[in-house]
Chains A and B, each alone.
Chain A
Amino acid sequence: MERQIKVLVTKIGLDGHDRGARVVASSFRNAGMEVIYTSPWQKIEDVVNITLQEDVDIVAISSLAYDHLIVPKLIEALQSEGLGDKKVLVGGIIPREDEEMLLNAGVKKIFHPGETLDSIVEYVENIMGKTSMK
């Protein structure tokens, strides 16, 4: 049986602007995925714990105010808990200058303003589809 895609939508760091995170979480839910949505300001260890306990497939981080700068630290923490296979997506205000840094750190994909909700959902379905066919 096909497993439901499980997504964690969260914000780390200090900023709490969560309109984008909430709208994206709700479209994952509407697309039939199981969504865990946390309030903003999660600590890196909180995200690692939820990822571990809930066994999510996708960790989607929304960042509008530089919190993306600590995403590499999150990925390191996930890897050291043996969760390196989780796909980390980042969406929001991500300056061009930081894209390479994030991708090198292991971020699977960066979504910028202007992305449609459908294309974000489609992207997640695609990468999960490919994974399950392996």
Chain B
Amino acid sequence: MKKIKQDNYQQWSKEYQKMRGVPAEQDLKYNLSGIPIKPIYTAHDIKEETLSYPGEYPYTRGLYPTMYRGRGWSRRQLIGLDTPERFNERQREMIKAGSNAVSLIFCNSFYRGYDADAVDPLLVGTCGTPINTIEDMEIAFDQIPIDKISIALNDPIGFTGLAMLLVIADRRGIPYSKITGTSNQSDFISHFVANHMFYRISLEGSLKILLDHIKYTNKYVPNWNPVSIVGQHMQQAGATPAQALAFTISTGITYIEETLKQGLLIDTFAPRFTFFYDISISMFEEIAKFRAGRRIWAKLLKERFGAKDPRSLRFKFHGQTSGAELTRQQPLNNIVRVTIQAMAGILGGAQSLHTDSYDEALGTPIEEAARIAINTQNILAEESGIADVIDPIGGSYYLERLTDQMEEEVWGYIQKIDEMGGMLEAVRKGYVQKVIGESAEKYQRQVDSNQKVIVGVNKYQIDESEDKRPNLTRVDQKLVQKHLKRLENFKNRRDKSKVDEALSRIVSATNNDELNIFEETILAVSVGCTHGEIIETLRKCYGFGHPNIV
């Protein structure tokens, strides 16, 4: 380490106190995670430890030696439009506009485990694309080169989305090894504790479904990431960045332990574990979160699980800018918020990034807003120079200290959850739910009391009765009717006896460790079982999952 030549800290400190009336050490602010922030950081604040290089254990400065010099982050925009046709059209436009990865958001009825014909027609196609059958999926992916582009499916346990994608691969003669991407919503624990948008099956049933999915992809779809552990839900539900990081890592520990029990070796599956995080506007805190996350995961995998393959130690994550921070008031301000959040993700070393559209507090994004969102990434990547240097803020006294503090904070929670018997127990007891709920309320109180400023909401408000907000795209009921008609025709056309047989094979797999639920699911969608039928079957076998919310 460099010697500090002349240290005028005392003198500075005196000046500071004179002007502020309090000693600098006591003039603290607190970030979202509750970590005290001093007015200045100096060489005294950092450990005598040399920073490792990017690609070097414990990966503080990035997962790969070249980082964005070698390969930029994936600009992966989540897209879900009200029909498979419209999803397909928008997706192809986004690929032209610079997106190099697909991300499919399903609609609310899909997430509740229903087909479009089982819900109020007014709610079909809300918030995403209704995919009920293999036919819908073929329309959604028409002319999209599924062997050349990375695909994220927002596919909760049951994994009917990936099953359909694999059937399309079969029909196009594409080997499964060419299919790359992620099951973005496989983390059922996060659905129990934080995101109640998804259908839930009992914890035990969910675990078997996930493990079968891991085992199947491990063997047959080797370039697919079957597990994405979702801190995004937790942080959007109110968890602080430190809590979200801690709870996801504890979840990761549980999934690893359970997969090991299935007889898989750590280095055969751990490289395919990925994470998905929210990125708040608290920029330095978020960068520290990601740096600390890389360190903790690497240490855990190496020391606790004995992983040898460096790929197992890598904490790969997709980041999404925080939607909960976007405001309905003066919505164009959100473009600025998203830019700062996205910078935090990039400076934090994200592998993949989604930037929100500025109108997300108003409804499903209009096309122009979606284009600005992807261009925010394009500008950051190709105009700003932000990606020219690896870990460019690394070495900042403040950031290094904050990374250490974040790490300490997170280990504290991990230890606590270990003592409770692991994440599944902590969820059964309602502990995680309680922590998240308390943080959400604390945050709201700070906003309400103006301790936390949100521009346009509790400060710098304007009269917005006359403002021009974008016109919203609505679900077209004519398209809904067309979709429902197609589903009806599809159901009439298929061979009912094959459907019944496939569903009964799923039932058998639910209570037999020799049979694989996911393998049966692929067969089921290929003979025409619908998403709703498959989920209903699983739900009947395993029972509904009740989160313990306190």
Contact = CB atoms under 8 A, between A and B. Distances in A.
Interface in B445-488: 445, 447-448, 454, 456-458, 469, 471-472, 475
Given A14-B111, A26-B441, A117-B444, A40 B126 contact: no
A118 B361 CA distance: 21
Interface in B391-428: none
A114 B123 contact: no
A14 B445 contact: no
Contacts of A117: 444-445, 448
Interface string A88-105: 000001011100000000
Interface of A: 13-19, 22-23, 26, 39-41, 65-67, 69-70, 73, 93, 95-97, 112-114, 116-118
B494 interface: no
Contacts of B549: 22, 39
Interface stretch (B171-179, B193-201, B534-542): B193-201
Q: Chain B interface secondary structure, helix, strand, loop or mixed?
A: loop
A13 B236 contact: no
A66 B109 CA distance: 12
Given A19-B237, A65-B108, A70 B120 contact: yes
A13 B238 CA distance: 23
Contacts of A65: 108, 126-127, 197
Interface of B: 108-109, 111-112, 119-120, 122-123, 126-127, 195-198, 236-238, 324, 327-329, 361-363, 437, 440-441, 444-445, 447-448, 454, 456-458, 469, 471-472, 475, 549
Contacts of A112: 328
Given A65-B127, A69-B123, A17 B197 contact: yes
Contact of B122 (A19, A39, A40, A69): A69
A122 to B, nearest CB: 12
B197 A13 contact: no
B484 to A, nearest CB: 16
Contact of A16 (B126, B196, B445, B458): B196
Nearest to B200: A16
CB-based closest 8 A-B pairs: A16-B196, A14-B108, A66-B126, A116-B448, A114-B457, A16-B197, A69-B122, A65-B127
Contacts of B447: 116
A95 B108 contact: no
A37 to B, nearest CB: 9
Query: B112, B197, B440: which has the most chain A beta carbons within 10 Å?
Result: B197
B171 to A, nearest CB: 31
Given A113-B361, A117-B444, A19 B327 contact: no
A48 B238 CA distance: 30
B362 A16 contact: no
B123 A113 contact: no
5 contacts: A13-B123, A73-B120, A97-B472, A113-B457, A117-B448
Given A16-B197, A17-B195, A65-B108, A23 B444 contact: yes
A14 B444 contact: no
Chain A interface SS verdict (over half):
loop
A22 B324 CA distance: 15
Contact of B126 (A14, A18, A22, A118): A14
A93 B361 contact: yes
B110 to A, nearest CB: 9
Given A93-B362, A95-B472, A70 B327 contact: no
A65 B198 CA distance: 13
B196 A95 contact: no
Contacts of A22: 437, 440, 549
Contacts of B197: 15-17, 65
Contacts of A13: 108, 120, 123
Question: Which interface residue of A13, A41, A73 has the most chain B CB atoms within 10 A?
Answer: A13
B123 A66 contact: yes
A54 to B, nearest CB: 19
Contacts of A39: 196, 549
A21 to B, nearest CB: 10
A89 B444 CA distance: 20
A95 B237 contact: no
A61 B456 CA distance: 25
Nearest to B107: A14
Contact of A95 (B238, B324, B362): B362
Contact of B327 (A40, A73, A114, A116): A114
Contacts of A40: 196
Nearest to A66: B126
Contact of B123 (A14, A93, A97): A14
Contact of B112 (A41, A69, A93, A97): A41
B448 to A, nearest CB: 4
A15 B108 CA distance: 6
B8 to A, nearest CB: 45
Contacts of B362: 93, 95-96
Nearest to B457: A114
Contacts of A69: 122-123, 126
Contacts of B441: 23, 26
A64 to B, nearest CB: 9
Contacts of B444: 23, 117
A95 B457 CA distance: 17
B122 A95 contact: no
B361 A15 contact: no
Given A15-B108, A19-B238, A26-B441, A114 B196 contact: no
B157 to A, nearest CB: 15
Given A69-B123, A93-B361, A23 B440 contact: yes
A97 B457 CA distance: 21
Most buried by B among A26, A41, A93, A95: A95
Nearest to A117: B448
